[in-house]
Structure 1
Amino acid sequence: MTIEHVGGGFAAAVTGVLAIGFAFVALSRCRLRLRGVRTTGELVGFRTAVAEDGDLLYRPVVAFTLPDGVKIEAEGESMSHAPHGVQEGDRTEVVHDPAALGTIALPSLLPGGLRGREILSWGAASVALGLMTYQIVVETF
């Protein structure tokens, strides 16, 4: 095995994993858009984490009740800053997947997260990386 094979294999593995990750994001958002149930929840607060670059990330935590009375507390997607004018106890729209109760979107806090253009972008990136992976494999092996 030559160094070109090792390098090509590594590049193919990286682009392949990225393609699969992007496809997963696109499919989960598409599923949430198609099957998601809209309800109203209460903003419990924001959990913070430190990103790799040292910046703070904010994850909104919401609580909502299902029609059968089950109470759910779930985290939304990370944001680079907390939305202005939003505070603990505010009511917000929640879209959740009945098949995966921890999967939620918060359209009022993160507008555009379930729009077709954004989902199409994730899918296109996945296809592009998949084609790149294929090309690397063909040229390397």
Structure 2
Amino acid sequence: MTVEQLGGGFVAVVTGVLCVVFAFEALRRCLLRLRGVSTTAELVRFRTTVAEDGDLLYYPVVAFTLPNGVEIEAEGEGVSRPPHGTQEGDRTEVVYDPAVPSSIVLPSLLPGRLKAREILAHCVASIALGFLTYQVLVDTF
């Protein structure tokens, strides 16, 4: 195997994995938009982590009760800073997937996560990365 083939193979693996990640995220958001159930949850806390660039990321953790009485504690997507005026104990809207209740979106804290253009952007990114992966493989091998 030549250096060019190794490099092309590496690029193809990276773009292929990104393609799959974007596709699954688009599917998750699309399913939440189509069959998601909206309810009220309590903001339990913000879990913080340090990103690779050294900045803090805040993950909202919410608790809510399903119609059958089961209590769920789930974590939303990370943001660079909590929304202004938001604090632990606040009530917030949550949209969850009835098939996987821990799969949530918080429209009141993180607006736009279920909008059609967000989902379309993930789909376009997945398709573009798929074509890029294919092209790299064709040119390399």
TM-score, normalisation: structure 2: 0.98
Unaligned segments of structure 1, at least 5 residues: none
**Aligned equivalents of 1:10, 1:59: Cα separation in 2:** 32
**Aligned equivalents of 2:6, 2:42: Cα separation in 1:** 51
Superposed, 1:62-141 pairs within 5 Å as 62-141=62-141
Residue 56 (str. 1) matches residue 56 (str. 2): yes
Deviations along 1:14-47, one digit per CA (max 9) or x if unpaired, are: 1101101111111111111111110011111111
Unaligned segments of structure 2, at least 5 residues: none
Letter in 2 for 1:102: S
Count the aligned residue pairs: 141
Helix, strand or coil for the counterpart of 1:82?
coil
Deviations along 1:46-69, one digit per CA (max 9) or x if unpaired, are: 111110111000011111000111
Residue 25 (str. 1) matches residue 25 (str. 2): yes
**Aligned equivalents of 1:91, 1:43: Cα separation in 2:** 6
Letter in 1 for 2:109: L
RMSD: 0.7
Letter in 2 for 1:55: D
4+ aligned runs moved over 6 Å, structure 1: none
Identity %: 70
